[in-house]
């Protein structure tokens, strides 16, 4: 809004100049805001990448955007099972790792997608937060045993899509 008074000695900006400057400033701001938000649409439309880290707080909104089909396994989350050197196992829960469900899933899924550094981050979390982790040989990632049907959820066998050795292969 135009600032009342506020001129230097010998120069007081008249009201119409202040109004014009304010309108111009607001117009630039409005165009910038709308253009930045609209630009995310172009990125979403390509369905190849996301802008969020580059333009935050201008982000895409693809919430619940992926289609799913009858009979599909629901990958809500993953079970983790640690295997010690002597063969006995431990269920590693999200609570044990002190992670939110989002970070728990993100760290596991990044590891499964073989993203750079993801397996090391996964091992780091296991070493720091699983009891007796020095004796931990490997961690099995097990899928959730539920699929979607027309009548709701239905149980199916769990699978082990990935096993992460606690000692990285050299």
Interaction site with another protein (CB under 8 A): 1-2, 22-23, 26-27, 29-30, 33-34, 37-38, 40-41, 44-47, 52-70, 72, 74-77, 98-103, 106-107, 117, 120-121, 124-125, 128, 144, 146, 148, 150-153
* Residue 90 CB, nearest approach to another protein (Å): 20
State which residue, 12 or 41, has the beta carbon closest to another protein: 41
Q: How far, in Å, CA of 103 to CA of 111, rounded?
A: 12
* Residue 113 CB, nearest approach to another protein (Å): 13
* Residue 9 CB, nearest approach to another protein (Å): 21
Count of CA atoms in the C-beta half-sphere (13 A) of 85: 5
Q: Which two tokens stand for residue 122?
A: 């996964």
State which residue, 1 or 88, has the beta carbon closest to another protein: 1
State which residue, 25 or 85, has the beta carbon closest to another protein: 25
């Amino acid at each position: 809004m135009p600032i009342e008074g506020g001129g230097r000695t010998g120069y007081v900006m008249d009201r119409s100049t202040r109004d014009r400057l304010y309108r111009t400033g607001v117009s630039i701001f409005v165009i910038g805001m709308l253009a930045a938000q609209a630009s995310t649409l172009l990125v979403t439309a390509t369905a190849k990448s996301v802008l969020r880290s580059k333009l935050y707080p201008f982000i895409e909104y693809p919430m619940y955007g992926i289609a799913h089909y009858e009979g599909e396994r629901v990958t809500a989350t993953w079970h983790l099972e640690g295997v010690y050197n002597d063969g006995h196992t431990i269920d590693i829960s999200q609570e044990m790792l002190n992670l939110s469900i989002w970070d728990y899933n993100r760290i596991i899924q990044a590891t499964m997608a073989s993203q750079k550094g993801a397996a090391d981050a996964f091992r780091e979390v296991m070493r720091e937060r699983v009891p007796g982790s020095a004796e931990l040989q490997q961690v099995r990632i097990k899928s959730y045993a539920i699929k979607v049907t027309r009548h709701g959820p239905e149980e199916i066998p769990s699978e082990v899509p990935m096993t992460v050795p606690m000692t990285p292969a050299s």
